[in-house]
Structures are given as C-alpha cells and as structure tokens.
Amino acid sequence: MKKGKGEYQALLEHHSRQKIFEVLSDGEWHRYEEIKKHTRLSSATLAKHLKALEKLQLIEKKIDLKSGKYPYPVYYRLSLVTLTPLGLLYKNVLDYRLKFIFLFAKEGEITNYLREVNTALNIELLGFLGEFYSGEHSEEWLRVTLRHFVFEFYVKAVYALKAALEENFPDKEAIKKVIFDAKIQIIHEYFNAISNYLPPELKAKFQQCIEKLEKVSEKPREEREKFLTEVLKEIQKISTTES
C-alpha cells in the first residue's frame, strides 16, 4: 500500500532529526556548519529542525559573540536533560557491554544481553516520563524523545548484537542455532512467568505446552522452527478460547 504524504513527511523528519542527534551525541558544542556538513541537510531543512528541537528543549544553542568573526559562529549541543539518559544508553551499554558480551560466546549470553538492554531502556523510559510529568515538557517533547532516543537505541542494540554474532560464530547455520536456542529460552521463561497468574484449568494447559517446548531440542534441526510455531499456535488457541 502506498504511503500517504503525511506518513512520508514524518519519516523524513525522523531521519533528519536522527542525523542531527548523531552529530550531537557526544554532548559537546558543534558549530552549525559542522552539523550541516555531517548531516548533509539543506540549510532550510537544518534550520527548521534545529529551531524545532531547541523549542522542545532537546538541544541548546549559543552564539559566540566574542569570536571576532562575523557572522557570529552558532553552536548547538544536546540539552542536559537529553544528554543524561542518552549518555547512559550509549556509553554504559553500547560502548562497553557490547564489546565484551560475546567475547567467549558462552551459552545464554544473548538472553543476558537482551535483559540488560531492556533494563536500560526501562530505566530511561521512566526517566523520560518523570521529566515529562515534572510539567516542564510538552507531549511533542515526549514523542520526539521516545522515538529518537529509545527506539533508535534499540535499533542500534540489535545491529550490535548482529555484528557480535557474525564475529563470534562461523556461519549462518551456527548463528541460527544460537538465536533459536535463545528464543526458546526466552519463550519458556515468559510462559513460566505468566502461568503463575492463570486460573488452574488454563495453567494446566499452558504447562503442557511448556513441556512441549522443552522437547524442541530433541527434534531434528530442520523441524524445530515448525514445531515451535505449532506450539505457539496451540498456546494462542488456548488463550483465545479461554478469554
């Protein structure tokens, strides 16, 4: 289906602003010309987005009146409110943890990694919501912040995981096996957790499905995905019938 003009414009806006945030992600002051060079945005487009982001208090602006140059150099950086969660996400997780998580390729490290990513995201979500309910920010601030910093962080985390897998495992088949095993582990943990809150008759049916999941590893490799899909469909059917 063809995208509408509104959706297309929103997508362009998102990509343009993301380019700006990437330049400013170190928290330092950057000249307008530098931002323009790295983002490759037109002067009109860049000026429009910088003005909007400044109004939302996501970035700060300063004019160097003492430079002796004219026109006066204009600088931008991430605001302190924006930089604090961004710094936590990028420096503590991406720049450090991702470098070592698959160093020894130990069993279960994918699930541990995903838990760390989700924990960091949850902390930041609560941080952004707390800032919002302080009364100093608009709904637009919250929307832009969540989209650019939370969603984009998750995308980067997935690509970092992809790079780590490709570096530590010899071929696609090995990667597929590691991913599948991790998926089974996560699904198993999830259904075990939610089964504690189910009524007895539904819990018994869920437990039967969980026991089936435990037998997935016994299946030939080429049959595992199909078997998993069947079990998940069975769980969905149970949930739909009982709801």
Question: In this structure, which amino acid lies at residue 217?
Answer: S
**Of 31-35, 105-109, 181-185, 206-210, which has the strongest mean pLDDT?**
31-35
**Which run of H or of E encompasses 77?**
strand 74-78
Query: In the chain, what are the domain boundaries?
Result: 5-78, 79-168, 169-243
Task: Just give the CATH number of 5-78.
Answer: 1.10.10.10
Question: In this structure, which amino acid lies at residue 147?
Answer: R
Model confidence pLDDT, tens digit, residues 153-176: 788 788 888 888 888 888 898 888
Nearest CA among 160, 118, 127 for reference residue 146: 127
Model confidence pLDDT, tens digit, residues 112-127: 788 877 877 787 788 7
Amino acid 209: pLDDT: 80
Tokens of 66: 């003492």
Higher pLDDT, 97 or 173: 173
Number of C-beta neighbours around residue 11 at 10 A: 11
In angstroms, rounded to a whole number, what is the distance separating the alpha carbons of residues 20 and 48?
Answer: 12
Amino acid 105: pLDDT: 44
Nearest CA among 64, 80, 82, 188 for reference residue 128: 82
Number of C-beta neighbours around residue 16 at 10 A: 17
Tokens of 147: 């989209």
In angstroms, rounded to a whole number, what is the distance separating the alpha carbons of residues 153 and 151?
Answer: 5
Cα dist from 76 to 47, 90, 124, 133, 140, whole Å:
11, 20, 23, 26, 20
pLDDT averaged over every residue in the chain = 79
